[in-house]
Amino acid sequence: MDKRGENMFDLKGKTALVTGSSQGIGKEIAKTLRDAGAKVFVHGQNFSEKLDLAAKYVGTDSIVEADLFESGVADKLFAQTGGVDILVLNASIQIKKPWGEFSEEEFDRHINCNLKSSYFIIKKYINYMKQKGWGRIVTIGSTNQYNNHPELAIYGVTKAAQMKLVQNIAPYIAPYGITINNIAPGAIETPRNDKALADKEFRDKVVASIPAGYIGNAGDMNGAVLLLCSNEGRYITGSEIIADGGMHL
């Protein structure tokens, strides 16, 4: 609550789409936006029981599907949601391999799912936000924008490029009351990496690389998301919050 007794992060009356909210970080972000009062669309690659369960957890019955690899994904999503006030581009893919071993198909899959889809979804959704004179766009990046990882060369490139996209777009949409920012998580325990982190030796190595001394959980982006998606974040754009327990340092 602020000094006027209002909830500073109130999102009542807003609509939001969170891509990749069937599990992990996206599911927690969707719940946070819902708890703050927004009507939230949860999204997965396909309709599934997992997505239904995520929607139940979030507290919404607005469920949409679209494979970010496919062309026309922005139109497909928009046809299901219509315009939204808040767009959180969280879904991504990550294929781990030594830098020289990626196939053309794997390279394209990274580019389409983690970068190209972000551009076309933003482009599709921006007019509605412009008409309303208010909008919030948050991309989810990674500390791999900065760190070199022996098996994440292409993934890191897509996340760094997405940040550049955020910076390139921000000045042109700021006059319409629309902000765009990136949140870069560090090592976060989600279904993506639960198998890898179950290996004690690997887990200990990861923990040792985090100044805070522990691996984050899927809810550790929620505070940053609320700030960037609410009126309190209106003066923050083209910027980034790194939420990684100091790992990038």
Ligand X SMILES: NC(=O)c1ccc[n+]([C@@H]2O[C@H](COP(=O)([O-])OP(=O)(O)OC[C@H]3O[C@@H](n4cnc5c(N)ncnc54)[C@H](OP(=O)(O)O)[C@@H]3O)[C@@H](O)[C@H]2O)c1
β-partners of residue 207 are: none
Nearer to ligand X, 16 or 68 (CB): 68
β-partners of residue 189 are: 217
3-state secondary structure at position 6: coil
CB of 33 to ligand X, least distance (A): 15
Q: Which of 144, 152, 187, 174 is CA-nearest to residue 239?
A: 174
CB of 90 to ligand X, least distance (A): 5
235 is catalytic: no
Nearer to ligand X, 38 or 247 (CB): 247
What is the separation of C-alpha 17 from the centre of its chain, rounded to a whole number of angstroms? 10
Nearer to ligand X, 46 or 231 (CB): 46
CB of 192 to ligand X, least distance (A): 3
CB of 177 to ligand X, least distance (A): 26
Question: Closest CB to ligand X belongs to which residue?
Answer: 24
Instruction: Give just the sign of the alpha carbon dihedral 205, 210, 154, 91.
Output: positive
The end-to-end CA distance of the chain, in Å, is 33
Distance between CA atoms of residues 195 and 190, nearest Å: 10
Distance between CA atoms of residues 15 and 189, nearest Å: 28
Nearer to ligand X, 126 or 206 (CB): 206
Q: Which amino acid is at 213?
A: G
CB of 170 to ligand X, least distance (A): 19
Tokens in use for 164? 């550049």
Distance between CA atoms of residues 54 and 43, nearest Å: 9
Nearer to ligand X, 15 or 94 (CB): 94
Instruction: Tell me which residues touch ligand X (CB under 6 A).
Output: 20-26, 44-46, 50, 67-69, 90-94, 113, 140, 142, 185, 187-188, 190-193
Considering the candidates 119, 128, 155, 176, report the single residue annotated as catalytic. 155
What is the separation of C-alpha 133 from the centre of its chain, rounded to a whole number of angstroms? 22
Residues annotated as part of the active site: 155
